Amino acid sequence: MRPVYAISGGVSKFAKARPDKTFQAIIKEAYDYAIADIGLDFPTFTRVVDGSVASYFSDHFSRQLMAGIMAQDYLGLCPKPGHRVEGGGATGGICFQEAWKSVASGHMDVCVAYGFETMSHVETWKGNEFIALASDVSLDYPVGGFYSGYYAMMVTRHMKEFGTTPEQLAHVSVKNYINAFHNPYVQKSQRITIEDVRNAPMVAWPLTRLDICVMSDGAAVTILCSEEGLKKLEAAGAKVASPLVKVTGIGRGTDMMRMADRPHMDYDFFMENYATEQEKSSDETKAYYKKLWEHGTRYPGVHSFRAGRTAGNMAWKHAGIQDPLRELDFVELHDAYTSSEIQTYEDLGLCRYGEGGPFAESGKTFLPNIDYGLKLKDKPVCAVNPSGGLIACGHPVGATGLMQGVFAIWQLQGTIQKHFRDDQLQVKDAKRGAIHSHAGTGTYVTVSVLERED
């Protein structure tokens, strides 16, 4: 595999509804931005780019099959190679990685990854129904198909096993919504308190409306290239931001479609197959986990995502990361629910399993220069969802994982001020970050590591 650079990106404004444009034209907003940001015009980029990967989750929302080729067509990319990927909520993350593969394998020198979702074409509760069709339609959906319900069951188990509290979940919502004040691309920003989150309408106990991301219309685009691709782009007149951003780690994991079917593994199997290198090397952590298992914890059960742990471990190994909390400057992760951000802290090894609740309220994942109105015990260590995450940005599914890629590129380029017209969310001297994309009840998860070249 050869080095792959993530050189540019663009994001359309995420909104509850974008009836002003078709999905192709919304993608083009993000596409044009990404091209302009490297100083090229449309025909020149079209000449140099080798192909594409398209990302959208559901044919139901647009009632259109083969929407990918309609975007390819609108973007003037025909007859170059392209294909559509789909993997639920992780579709965007998978798209980013498939573009990486196209370049890393030598198949393409310049590959553009574009994704979208237009979820406003149906009413909210019908949209929830479409999303719930991403659960087994024989055995899960008919019982009361509702993703917020599925995640709320994970929460009650997490609370029972580990003592996690709804107020700890609410810290995630407060952090992400307040971060979003400085990101012009978000669907919604609001200055809220823990009490606001808890007093919001209850959706699926204990998750309230402010614990849950919203449906959106939107698109995002990233441009990836090899060293040869970079030369071709520069020869065509491109001015790529320096220092370059390189993709240094790729990981992906899967789990059962039916959450009920997930295994409940014993301590030894967990330690051998799923513990992080850091966990394996610590006698104190091994003793901590032994105690959890003695109290009945089994892995992954419904409280944890082994797909996330698998993807994280794979990506960390690829990127040479031993301690993700201290070796990553930021993580843009898939916070479709406040609870899933907490679960993901644990899966990615930012904290140990069972400690996600206290970790969420510790302050370690907050930004240092923003007033959250909270008394935080610890200083920031690794910003999680400095963009506002899915909770505030919105979740136009096929675009979401690519949006994370775009924000990560801008963080590492140090160009947040340029793109957001505000530098509050710029992680100071960001050298390495991760993006995490997540599907279903944890069925597909991708983790990609991006680094600034020195």
Partner 1 sequence: MAKLPSQREETLGGYIVHGIPFPVSMDEEALEFLKKMAPIQIEQEYKITYLHSYGQDSPWFAALTNKRLLASRDPASGYTTANPRGHDMYSGNETKWIDITNVPAKVHAFTVCYFGSEEFLPECPFVLALIEFEGVNTLLLTRLMGVDPDAPSLDWIGMEVSPRFLRNSKLKPTDVYFIPNAAE
Q: Which residues bind partner 1 (CB under 8 A)?
A: 19-21, 63, 123, 125-126, 128-129, 131-132, 137-140, 142-146, 148-150, 152-157, 159-160, 201-207, 258-264, 302
Q: Which is nearer to partner 1, 109 or 140 (CB)?
A: 140
Nearest residue to 106 (alpha-carbon basis) of 197, 1, 230: 1
Q: What angle do CA 42, 410, 241 make, to 5 degrees?
A: 60
Q: How far is the CB of 113 from partner 1 (least distance, A)?
A: 27
What minimum distance in Å lies between the beta carbon of 188 and partner 1?
16
Q: CB atoms < 10 A from the CB of 256, how many? A: 17
Residue number, 45 or 116, with CB nearest to partner 1: 116
Phi, psi torsion values for 449, nearest 5 degrees: -110, 130
Q: Distance between CA 294 and CA 309 in Å, rounded? A: 22
CB of 18 to partner 1, least distance (A): 9
Pairing of strands 383-384, 330-332: parallel
> Which residue number, 211 or 329, has a Cβ lying nearer to partner 1?
211
Cα–Cα distance for residue pair 389/334, rounded to 1 Å: 7
- Least distance CB 25 / partner 1 (angstroms): 11
Separation between Cα atoms, residue 52 and residue 271, nearest integer Å: 40
Of residues 1 and 260, the one with the C-beta less far from partner 1 = 260
What does the DSSP assignment read for 154-223?
HHHHHHHHH---HHHHHHHHHHHHHHGGG-TT-S------HHHHHHSPEEETTEEGGGB----EEEEEEE
In terms of Cβ atoms closer than 10 Å to its own Cβ (0-12, 13-18, 19+), residue 3 is: middle
Least distance from partner 1 to the Cβ atom of residue 75, Å: 21
* Coil vs helix vs strand at 213: coil
Q: Where are the beta strands (DSSP E) in 3-157?
A: 4-11, 51-55, 82-85, 110-118
The secondary structure element, H or E, covering residue 203 is strand 202-204
CB atoms within 10 A of CB 114: 32
Residue whose CB is less far from partner 1, 145 or 249: 145
CB nearer to partner 1: pick between 138 and 242: 138
**Nearest distance from C-beta of residue 262 to partner 1, angstroms:** 7
CB 263 to partner 1: min, Å: 7
Residue 444: phi and psi, rounded to 5, are -125, 135
Element (H, E) at 426: none
Q: Quick one: tokens of 49?
A: 């780019």
Rounded-to-integer distance, Cα 216 and Cα 11, Å: 13
Can you tell me the distance from the alpha carbon of 209 to that of 408, in angstroms, rounded to the nearest whole number?
27
With respect to partner 1, which residue has the nearer C-beta, 55 or 148? 148
Q: Residue 7 to residues 212, 413, 451: CA-CA distances in angstroms? A: 32, 9, 11
Residues whose CB falls within 8 Å of the CB of residue 143, separated by 6 or more in sequence, listed in order: none
* 298 vs 300: CA distance, rounded Å: 6
* Beta carbon of residue 66, minimum distance to partner 1 (angstroms, whole number): 17
In the complex, minimum distance from the CB of residue 202 to partner 1, in angstroms, rounded to a whole number: 5
Q: Are strands 4-11 and 217-225 parallel, antiparallel or unpaired?
A: antiparallel
Cα distance between residue 452 and residue 215, in whole Å: 32
Between residues 155 and 350, which has the closer beta carbon with respect to partner 1? Answer: 155
By C-beta, is 209 or 231 nearer to partner 1? 209
CB of 156 to partner 1, least distance (A): 5
Find the shortest distance in angstroms from Cβ 64 to partner 1.
11
Helices (H), 59-118: 59-62, 67-74, 91-104
Q: Considering beta carbons, is residue 47 or 126 the nearer one to partner 1? A: 126
Longest Cα pair distance anywhere in the chain, in angstroms?
64
CB of 152 to partner 1, least distance (A): 3
Q: Which amino acid is at 432?
A: R
* Residue with Cβ nearer partner 1 (183 or 443): 443
Q: Based on CB atoms, which residue is closest to partner 1, 257 or 374?
A: 257
